[in-house]
Structure 1
């Protein structure tokens, strides 16, 4: 089906409207149900590129360094996120291990890599990269499955409970996870569908048909 860039459908009530002309930071809402129809992102995608790079760096630190170090009666033990996944597997909790692996490593990493791949050519050359359509849809599908903040909350609760029985020292990965959670909140607030608007606007100015 051919895309009609001058019309926009409300996701709440399916009403059709003529796409509004918005100024920076303006938001258009459906007069029938109040759902957000469109928002002007301005050059937000260019500002998100350094945040995405920083998120990838923190993601690497969070996965390569120990999360916590536990000391009990002079004995010390520390583990990384990958080590925790392996421990769950050896403890006959393979289902939980797969869930942790997917929601805290694979899906967040895929989101960040796709976001970087999309943002770089759009910000530098103003062009859509190869596989643009598929990757934007993949971003939309992956959004609900990244649960780093849930994992971080679980780690903090475990540290509080263990602190009464052992000496618990936070590792570099724990601080990286905290920073990553904050950055991801800002980065993933950028809706994948906004990529379509950016591309349509740029190609319309260049006279490229949708």
Structure 2
């Protein structure tokens, strides 16, 4: 169920009762919503925030699944290339090493950060934040890490790396014999789980639970 939010006179309202639309910057009175509902901006229809069911436990399950897939997605072969009697297994990590050894150290560092280091850092931040809420301890650290997570969001570019892999497969399929490896399926699964996690882990509920405004916001 969606609850459009109606603008009203806001001059006398305290800041904690206000919310701004992230899409069109319309300032609104913060609505009260019930589990399963979401608040929408009346001007542009953007979702201001939602109250989802069992956010912490569902998000924890997704984070732990993503962490389980992280090593096979990055270190198992994405594809196997057969060319002129030679066979090579290509992984995300071997791609980083190949760039570094070929003299493109700067590009290798960027690929490593955006496809491996930052996605892992994001998952670890999410894990600690969710555990802080679940165990009701270390919420100050949870607030710091959740802010860090939001700063890192734009730098984890698994989808860009995935598009690069698809382009490479299309270009090489006519030149050599290609075999898709299990690492590619792990990589796709990791990407989809992270997208799902972005949907499930409602920022409004996480902030409310961490700050103590609503300790049960993640229930």
TM-score (norm 1): 0.84
Cα RMSD of the aligned pairs, angstroms, is: 2.3
The structure 1 segments of at least 4 consecutive aligned residues displaced by more than 6 Å after TM superposition are none
Q: Count residues in correspondence.
A: 200
Contact 2:74-2:187 within 8 A present in 1 as well: no
User: In structure 2, do the counterparts of structure 1 residues 192 and 141 end up closer, same or farther at CA, with 3 Å as the change threshold?
Assistant: farther
- Residue 198 of structure 1 is aligned with which of 185, 209, 214? 209
| Aligned counterpart in structure 2 of residue 61 of structure 1, from 68, 72, 76 | 72
User: What's the counterpart of residue 27 of structure 2?
Assistant: 15
Distance in 1, Cα, partners of 2:97 & 2:48: 45
- C-alpha contact (below 8 Å) 2:80/2:178 kept by paired residues: yes
* 1:120-143 CA-partner distances (Å, limit 9, x unpaired): 2323x2445451221111111111
Unaligned runs of 5+ in 2: 1-13
Relative distance call for 1:127 and 1:32 in structure 2 (3 A) is: farther
Is 2:192 the partner of 1:164? no
Report the counterpart of residue 185 of structure 2 in structure 1: 175
Gaps of 5+ in 1: 205-210
Mapped pair 1:89 → 2:100: yes
TM-score norm. by structure 2 comes to 0.81
- Name the CA distance, whole Å, in 2 between partners of 1:152 and 1:10: 32
Provide the rounded CA distance (Å) in 1 between the counterparts of 2:81 and 2:74: 18
Contact 2:63 2:127 in 1 (8 A): yes
For residues 131 and 4 of structure 1, the distance between their equivalents in structure 2, rounded to whole angstroms, comes to: 24
Cα deviation digits, residues 115-172 of structure 1 (max 9, x gap): 111112323x244545122111111111111111221121122112212111111222
